[in-house]
Amino acid sequence: MPGRWSLAGEQPKLDLARHSKVELAQKIGGEYRADHSGERHWRRLAHSAHVDGDEFCHQITTMAELLPAALDETIIELDLSEVESAAATRIATAIKKWVSICLSHLGD
């Protein structure tokens, strides 16, 4: 498992200016491209998993809405040095932007 310092080195990879080139590790409803994954893709995934699409999309939306506050709480609760805290905050900010993008696509 990578140490905390390696997380700071990952910061350049979180550049949102290039978000259209980001591919997910696993397909969502047949789509690898993060910026192309919308509600229809989540519903397709729900269907293939034999779960209710409405409930599944509701759960995904709820988790996405809760994630920003959970990130903030986690950073506060951790005993991080000033450098680690700065790196964690930069990463959390990038993740929050991604959450915002994903939530906007859930309405597609």
The two structure tokens encoding residue 26: 């696993």
Give Cβ neighbours of residue 38 (< 8 Å, ≥ 6 apart).
Answer: 105, 106, 107, 108
pTM: 0.69
Q: In sequence order, what are the residues at sequence separation of 6 or more whose Cβ sits closer than 8 angstroms to the Cβ of residue 98?
A: 16, 19, 34
Alpha helices, H only, 3-52: 4-9, 39-48
pLDDT in tens, 9-68: 555 455 555 555 667 788 888 888 777 788 898 999 999 999 999 999 999 899 999 999
Residue 14's pLDDT is 56
